[in-house]
Structure 1
Amino acid sequence: MPELRLLQSLLDTKCVYILDCWSDVFIWIGRKSPRLVRAAALKLGQEICSMLHRPKHACVTRNLEGTECQVFKSKFKNWDDVLKVDYTRAAETVQQNDNLQGKVKKDAEQKGQMKADLTALFLPRQPPMPLTEAEQMMEEWNEDLDGMEGFVLEGKKFARLPEEEFGHFYTQDCYVFLCRYWVPVEYEGDEKKKGQGGGEGGEEEEEEDKQPEEDFQCVVYFWQGRQASNMGWLTFTFSLQKKFESLFPGKLEVVRMTQQQENLKFLSHFKRKFIIHKGKRKQKTDSAQPSLYHIRTNGSALCTRTIQIGTDSSNLNSEFCFILKVPFESTDNQGIVYTWVGRAADPDEAKLAEDIMNSMFDDTYSKQVINEGEEPENFFWVGIGCQKPYDEDADYMKYARLFRCSNEKGYFSVSEKCSDFCQDDLADDDIMLLDNGKEVIMRIYLKHFYIKSHTFSLQVYIQHMRSKDAEHPRKLRLVRKGNEPHCFTRCFHAWGAFKTPPS
């Protein structure tokens, strides 16, 4: 100990020290010290404190390197964190000396520097997938599919789902689909056989027998509706999943999905006829009430869904197709079904809407395809309620982007959701940014009070879009959860009530 004085330089970051000052026992822990040494020092410090007669206020104090208390620092010579400042110099030229050590120095250097990742705001919007490419992917994935079995949760057990109900889902139900896929096997090339020379026919047959057999893989897709309970997933994990794992050991993969957040490969098996109904599958509903379905494609033909929405003419849009069922109180004719084609709807989607109508309803219903402006007054407008103003364009589909602003990584970052986003992608814990081509809407929850960094990112994005897309200048808008305007909700397919946590 130089000059019998304690110096800060004596402390090694890889060691642990005990300083006994009679009225206080300090344990200094280096940041790189072993965990076992730390534990031993804490126990030894308690023993030392109890060995001698000390004042009643004596205690053992733990000090981590870089966060030492002032009493501990006072025991050392010239240990202080006061910055030496020359007040005769300009503030910009004052330099920090090297008297801050360890973590304190590091924190002081990084103070005022907030790390942020805004890369997603400057990336271009994901282009829509061409129809031919989507159909090719759909065909390839279905070629690999060897078989598919469906199950639906009824009560507390999963029952087999009839094949005619494949593609029909209900918001309050849970479904399980077991898909078996062929796995391609690499065979020996013909050139290798030719290189061996002309052998006998028996040898060629033996070589063919030695070729590996085709392998397979099983994928279990678990689908949960927006209004379904999480008990469905627990029931699956303790029943069907264990059964499948015993049947296909080492070849099983489980994929959990929620409504409108499905796997693309899973969607491809239904060939764009993915229909979501309200309620439960076998629940008795009021059959006398009309029902309206909205057909919409988000970014790719693979992401085409037909979802039941509120039966209201204000939900119509001239760029989409809708299916309206108007029931009758008759045994011979159950009702009439209309496929409503907007004047600006895509022709391929109009044909798909007619096919979906024919697959959804049997011959007990009268079916009719009508164009916008040719609606019959007696059944269509009466069945849908009454004629109300509705949107005549869907330009937002060309520009819609959803961003999430979060601090979950330990710093502020912005990430973009895929083009097939839905209402459940809106996170209450974070602030969401929605660009609809005309406005950039910041959606916040009631508990969000500090939004300075989020507002900054919003301004950065607006300035960036002004330089990239000067023809469509964006305006800034702030909304709270529960008060979303129509220009916000229409960007989401089948917007509805928010999920309520179970009581």
Structure 2
Amino acid sequence: NWDDVLTVDYTRNAESVLQGPGLTGKVKRDAEKKDQMKADLTALFLPRQPPMALAEAEQLMEEWNEDLDGMEGFVLEGKKFARLPEEEFGHFYTQDCYVFLCRYWVPVEYEEEEEKKEEKEEEKAGAEGKEGEEAAAEAEEKQPEEDFQCIVYFWQGREASNMGWLTFTFSLQKKFESLFPGKLEVVRMTQQQENPKFLSHFKRKFIIHRGKRKVAQAAQQPSLYQIRTNGSALCTRCIQINTDSSLLNSEFCFILKVPFESEDNQGIVYAWVGRASDPDEAKLAEDILNTMFDASYSKQVINEGEEPENFFWVGIGAQKPYDDDAEYMKHTRLFRCSNEKGYFAVTEKCSDFCQDDLADDDIMLLDNGQEVYMWVGTQTSQVEIKLSLKACQVYIQHMRSKEHEQPRRLRLVRKGNEQHAFTRCFHAWSTFRKPLA
């Protein structure tokens, strides 16, 4: 550090420099200070990530899709990957694994030296006459303006085993690497932790069904899906949840499928539009409804309060009280408290967090605007619990000074005992995933 050098008084001798607040003294003090720094709580003081504007998200989506030259899908069937029909793109199942091979155009950037060299050659060719000009033009045409890159996205449902990944690494990945040497990148993703670029290719119609593809599990049972956007329109998903009317919310749109036992009419499907839902999401719900179901289903878009008793409430299993707002969506933040780095550190998850971000061996802090929940995993150490409690208190104090009109209360929650006010902050809360083989 030059500051240390420049602050030295060169009129003093070596002995006096070494004594007291000299360079050695500074090094010693720094070392002592470092030993005392056992916690990094910086994340707690940073402002909440603002939601991305719809126009910005749509522009990003457009740019990423313009670069996309082609996309091929594969799904694990038994012990091998089979090609996924294009009409099934955007439909994912929690017990399945998928592979998408995406080819992107990449503009070629030439170095300035090469450009100068080309210019000189063109000048020389121009001097040689018309034939030279034609040769230069031909050479320019042959010059590739664009190259390509391939990204393989591997998607694993939260109920799928790791066998899919092993099968992929020993079969498809090897094949792709031989086809595109040096141009292949593999991105492994799990359900609801997808790469935004990957999500953009489905243009907000990203549907996650429960169970396994091609297996008509409980086909005659009604099913309910919630459409939700987390922080950005890029992170919009339509996920199957428990068929329970208490999970409805006036700020969201839902899709309810009520099957019939008739061959010519498979059932009726409703797009339920909450009275406080976003108009863009209401339009999207209608689009998803038409994408998900063919003409063998009757389709109906209904506004909250206009539900038909016969099929809607009977199908969803009786009318129960439900939330009429999702104010928490404007405040939710999830922090992870861990000492895996060798010291205690708090890090914030992005706004597109999910249930599987709750790490069993750590403490998580969830702020919903009214309460700060300290979530304790089953494998958390006592040291982490003590330090996380301090971090919670620091955060609540900080938020009190920032948003004094909205004081937070501290709540302790153990894994498996989460209340509705906690679980509703996560899209499609379900049972915890068991460690998979």
TM-score, with length taken from structure 2? 0.87
1:205-220 superposed matches below 5 A: 205-220=137-152
Q: Which among 219, 229, 232 is matched to residue 164 of structure 2? A: 232
Which residue of 2 is the match for residue 53 of structure 1? none
Shift of 1:186: 3.6
Q: Which among 301, 305, 311 is matched to residue 237 of structure 2? A: 305
Q: Distance in 1 between matches of 2:33 and 2:137?
A: 73
The one-character-per-residue Cα deviations of 1:304-350 (angstroms, maximum 9, x if unpaired) are 00000000000100000000000111111111000000000000000
Q: Which among 146, 149, 157 is matched to residue 72 of structure 2? A: 149
Larger relative helix fraction: 2
Q: Distance in 1 between matches of 2:57 and 2:36?
A: 45
Q: Distance in 1 between matches of 2:171 and 2:142?
A: 39
Q: Distance in 2 between matches of 1:502 and 1:272?
A: 29
The one-character-per-residue Cα deviations of 1:91-143 (angstroms, maximum 9, x if unpaired) are xxxxxxxxxxxxxx99x957983521100000000000000000000000001
1:359-398 superposed matches below 5 A: 359-398=291-330
Which residue of 2 is the match for residue 499 of structure 1? 433
The one-character-per-residue Cα deviations of 1:62-117 (angstroms, maximum 9, x if unpaired) are xxxxxxxxxxxxxxxxxxxxxxxxxxxxxxxxxxxxxxxxxxx99x9579835211
TM-score, with length taken from structure 1? 0.76
Q: Residue 181 of structure 1 aligns to which amino acid in structure 2?
A: Y
Cα gap change, 1:109 to 1:207, in 2 (>3 Å)? closer
Give the count of matched residue pairs: 398
> RMSD of aligned C-alpha atoms?
2.3
Give the number of the structure with larger relative contact order, counting CA–CA contacts within 8 Å between residues 6 or more apart: 2
Cα gap change, 1:210 to 1:160, in 2 (>3 Å)? closer
Which residue of 2 is the match for residue 294 of structure 1? 226
Q: Distance in 1 between matches of 2:90 and 2:153?
A: 13
Q: Residue 53 of structure 2 aligns to which amino acid in structure 1?
A: P
Which residue of 2 is the match for residue 181 of structure 1? 104
Q: Distance in 1 between matches of 2:44 and 2:351?
A: 14
Q: Distance in 2 between matches of 1:212 and 1:245?
A: 23
Secondary structure in 1 aligned to 2:299?
strand
Q: Which among 317, 331, 345 is matched to residue 249 of structure 2? A: 317
Secondary structure in 2 aligned to 1:296?
strand
Q: Which among 37, 43, 53 is matched to residue 130 of structure 1? A: 53
Cα gap change, 1:109 to 1:247, in 2 (>3 Å)? closer
Q: Which among 439, 460, 468 is matched to residue 402 of structure 2? A: 468
Which residue of 1 is the match for residue 81 of structure 2? 158
Q: Distance in 1 between matches of 2:205 and 2:402?
A: 37
Q: Distance in 2 between matches of 1:216 and 1:502?
A: 36
Q: Residue 471 of structure 1 aligns to which amino acid in structure 2?
A: E
Q: Distance in 1 between matches of 2:361 and 2:215?
A: 34
Q: Distance in 1 between matches of 2:146 and 2:323?
A: 53
1:109-120 superposed matches below 5 A: 113-120=36-43
- Work out which of the two has the higher radius of gyration on C-alpha atoms and give 1 or 2: 1
Cα gap change, 1:374 to 1:447, in 2 (>3 Å)? same
Q: Residue 219 of structure 2 aligns to which amino acid in structure 1?
A: S
Shift of 1:496: 0.3
Secondary structure in 2 aligned to 1:223?
strand
Cα gap change, 1:245 to 1:447, in 2 (>3 Å)? closer
Secondary structure in 2 aligned to 1:495?
coil
Q: Distance in 2 between matches of 1:112 and 1:478?
A: 30
Unaligned runs of 5+ in 1: 1-104
Secondary structure in 1 aligned to 2:227?
strand
Which residue of 1 is the match for residue 9 of structure 2? none
Shift of 1:423: 0.4
Which residue of 2 is the match for residue 59 of structure 1? none
Displaced runs of 4 or more, over 6 A: none
Which residue of 2 is the match for residue 486 of structure 1? 420
Shift of 1:208: 2.0
Shift of 1:446: 3.8
Cα gap change, 1:202 to 1:447, in 2 (>3 Å)? closer
